[in-house]
Amino acid sequence: MARIICIANQKGGVGKTTTAINLSAALAVSEKRTLLVDCDPQANATSGLGIDRSKIEKTLYHGMLGRAGATNLIVDSEISTLKVIPSGVELIGFEVEMISDPNREMALKNLVAGLDHAFDYIFLDCPPSLSLLTINALTAADSLLIPLQAEYYALEGLGQLLSTVKRIKRNLNPDLTIAGILLTMFDKRTNLSYQVAEEAEKYFKDLVFKTIVPRNIRLSEAPSFGKPILLYDATSAGAQSYFELAKEILRN
């Protein structure tokens, strides 16, 4: 059975998509059958894996509205064990079109249910908001991975996300757990990064991953080439951090 991990934080620019792409890729090269579902209308995870959106006829939008089955949406990436369900700008329309549907929060869960035995890991990359798309991802997931940038105001808004998780557990997905909090964009040259790490460990204790993702230029460059960091520069500090994170996920 697949382990379904939602990657979410309503704050933008914290490394959600970077984590979704590179953790998926790291697990895929570890011989785990991995699927990345791009739940963001901006479709950065889709383009970040080199998938040409102009050549895609059906995206997650069509699947969530019941117009296509999940297996018909899956496309290949450069890594044979990493598959993708792509997104597109039309996904913005999902919330409007489903507003009166009583099962609107279950659309993604129902879509991926049939893929349970085809993959070892399924990652859901969320938009930077607590929208219906994010609620769908939290409802479909077994666990939530929260990227937290090591910058000022990092912990602001995290309470809102955790309150949403409590509501999801109460009403839609009682088995949802926190996979962990991942510190991203860590700059060893600044005291602030260490302070944020300290605060996170103080409040969340064992929920904070041992792996810390550094601020890394090669990691920032990779998406513009449509490649995960391990195909762009496997020796970089960014690549090594995601390999370490994959090991932590596998151990847990």
Neighbours of 171 (CB within 10 A): 10
The pLDDT tens digits of the residues spanning 82-140 come to: 999 999 999 999 989 998 899 999 999 999 998 989 999 999 999 999 999 999 999 99
pLDDT of residue 99: 86
Q: Which residues make Cβ contacts (< 8 Å) with residue 180, sequence separation at least 6?
A: 145, 146, 207, 208, 209, 248, 252
Distance of CA 62 to the CA centre of its chain: 20
How many distinct structural domains can be found in the chain? 1
Distance between CA atoms of residues 62 and 49, nearest Å: 20
Q: Write the single-letter amino acid at 181.
A: I
Is pTM, for the whole model, over 0.75?
Answer: yes
The CATH number assigned to the domain holding 134 equals: 3.40.50.300
Domain span at 135: 3-251
The pLDDT tens digits of the residues spanning 41-78 come to: 999 999 999 999 888 999 999 999 999 999 999 999 99
Alpha carbon separation from 239 to 62, 214, 228 (Å, rounded) = 33, 10, 9
